[in-house]
Amino acid sequence: DGGITQSPKYLFRKEGQNVTLSCEQNLNHDAMYWYRQDPGQGLRLIYYSQIVNDFQKGDIAEGYSVSREKKESFPLTVTSAQKNPTAFYLCASSTPQGAHTGELFFGEGSRLTVL
Amino acid sequence: QKEVEQNSGPLSVPEGAIASLNCTYSDRGSQSFFWYRQYSGKSPELIMSIYSNGDKEDGRFTAQLNKASQYVSLLIRDSQPSDSATYLCALILTGGGNKLTFGTGTQLKVEL
């Protein structure tokens, strides 16, 4: 079955540690996105990538890094520079046409808690 | 002013009633608008899109767009307990390419 797989689903981190969230898709989508969601908040865009080996900062990129070495994969690293990393992280993908129709396909999310 | 504004709710409606969810936006040039539904602890899913002024109906859902007033709404007829979720309004900003900007969402509770 085609879809987006995020792992891990739950992750605990000590302050000062970097963590990497995995996002893999087998939908053959060109565009991939990382969003962050805090309680009572909407989704805020962290980074996005429209093609392999290229990515752009979103609205809240500080303290995060990404790579796009393969079309299927778009991992997100939460660095120690991110001051408030506890949140629900959502990865999404779309076709170029799908992006304009708002049709983002989301993974099930990764919930990061900093201890 | 926020780019997309929604009342966080919760909005409580009795089963069978019409639920009305509202969204205002600040970018007058936005052309594409979307409603996503998000169940608690789950990822969002697209339920409606609208691009032209007026109404667009899909089953029990009707999206309404008024670009002059910069206002988008979602009506849910014959509300069911399974409709209880957070509804996120989203749009593509002028020059936003293929990035969606989301509102904070309105929590809907349909009560028996």
- State the pLDDT at residue B13: 97
Query: Model confidence over B20-79: pLDDT tens digits?
Result: 999 999 999 998 999 999 999 899 999 999 999 999 999 999 999 999 999 999 999 999
- Yes or no, beta carbons of A101 and B103 under 8 Å apart: no
Cis peptide preceding B44, ω within 30 of 0: no
Position A39 confidence tier, pLDDT thresholds 50, 70, 90: confident
Q: Which of B6, B33, B98 sits opposite A100 (nearest CB)?
A: B98
Q: Which of B8, B44, B46 sits opposite A40 (nearest CB)?
A: B8
Q: How far off is chain A from B81, nearest CA to CA, in Å?
A: 21
Residue B36: closest CA among B72, B11, B71: B72
Tokens (6 digits) for A84: 């408030």
